[in-house]
Amino acid sequence: MPSFVVAASLAALICAQAGAGAPAPGRMPKLAPPRLWRPPAVKLVSAGEAPLAPLRYALVKGAQGALDLAATGRWRVKTSNSEANTELPNLSTPFSYAVVSPGQFSFEFQEATSKGAGSENDNATQGIISALKGVRGSVELDARGLAQKLSIMPSPLDAEFSQDSTRVTVGSHYALELARSAFMHVLTPLPDEPIGIGGSWQVERPQTRGTVSFTEVATYTLVSRDAKGAKLTVRFGGKPDPLAGIHPNQMELTVSGSGETDLEFARPFPVRIDDQLLIHALTGPKETHQRVEHEGTVTGHLQLSTRKLP
C-alpha cells in the first residue's frame, strides 16, 4: 500500500470501488476531477549519531529497471443501513522505468494480474486492471528524490482517449488515480540535512487507500548506509487532507503501520519494500445517519525484477 503500497493503493481502491458498485468500464458517468498535485513535505526529526552526511540519489542517464509490485489485504465500509466487507485479491503490478536525466525518469506499467477474492469474475475490477497496461509518464525530482512534477498519461489502448485526448474510459480514470497515488507512496524522498545512523525524517504526502483519501505521514529511520545505498525502517500515521473532498471536521482518522525499505542511490525507486498499513476512518457529519465507517488492512511488497525490459 513504506506502507508501500503502490499495489496496496491499487488493490484497495480497485476492490473497494468494485465492491461498492463501481460503474462497469466503458460507461461514462460524471467522474470526480483528479486530486490536486503537490510535492511531498519533508522535514528532519532527528539527525542521528555522528558522523553525519547527506543522503542523495545519483541517477545516471540511460539507466533502466523493472519492478514488481504485489499487495493484498481486506477492506470494510459500513453505513447506517449496509455493510460491505471485502477480501482484497492478490494484485501484481509490474512496471519499468528509464532515467532521462539525473533529475527525470519515465515509466510505463505492464500487464497487471489479480488473483483470488473473486476478482477474475468482477468486470469492474478487471476493467481497471486492464486499463493500467500502458499507463505511462514521467517524474521530475531533485537529488533528494523529492518529486517536483508528475506527468501521467492513460494507456494508448484506451478507446476514448485514442479518439479524444480530453476523455478516458471509467477504467482509465481509476487506473490513473491509482497509479498517481501509488507513485507518491513508493518514491522515497530524503532529508535536506546531513544525517547519521538512527536519524529520522518525516514525509507528508496525499494518499488514497481503499475508500479514504488523506495525508499520509511516514517517519523513516536510517538503519545502515554505504556508498551504494541505505536501509530504512518506516512508521506510518495519517491526518485528514483538506484538499481531499471531505472537510477535516467531518473525518475521524487513525492510521498506523510499519515497514522496511532498501534503497540503491542509482535507482529512483526502492529495490525492496515490505510493509503493512492499517486504517480506520469515520466520515460525514457527526451523530447523523450519513456517518460512514471505513476500515482496512493492506500488506504490500515491492521488489526489483530480473525480467527483461520491453
Q: Are 44 and 201 in contact (CB under 8 A)?
A: yes
Report the pLDDT value the prediction gives residue 120, as an integer from 0 to 100: 56
Q: Tell me the C-alpha distance between 290 and 277, whole Å.
A: 26
User: Mean pLDDT for each consecutive 10-residue tract of the chain (310 residues)?
Assistant: 35 40 42 66 97 97 93 88 84 92 96 72 70 92 94 86 76 81 88 98 90 93 98 97 84 97 97 95 85 92 81
Fold of the 6-304 domain: Lipovitellin-phosvitin complex; beta-sheet shell regions (2.30.230)
Task: Report residue 81 as a C-alpha cell.
Answer: 443501513
Q: Tell me the C-alpha distance between 215 and 164, whole Å.
A: 33
Report the pLDDT value the prediction gives residue 70, as an integer from 0 to 100: 87
Report the pLDDT value the prediction gives residue 121, as an integer from 0 to 100: 53
Report the pLDDT value the prediction gives residue 84, as an integer from 0 to 100: 85
> Could you give the C-alpha distances from 74 to 91, 109, 209, 295, in angstroms and in order?
12, 24, 11, 8
Report the pLDDT value the prediction gives residue 123, as an integer from 0 to 100: 66
Q: Tell me the C-alpha distance between 204 and 157, whole Å.
A: 34
Quick one: which of 151, 230, 146, 235 has its CA closest to 190?
A: 146
- Provide the residue ranges of all domains of the chain, joining segments of one domain with +: 6-304
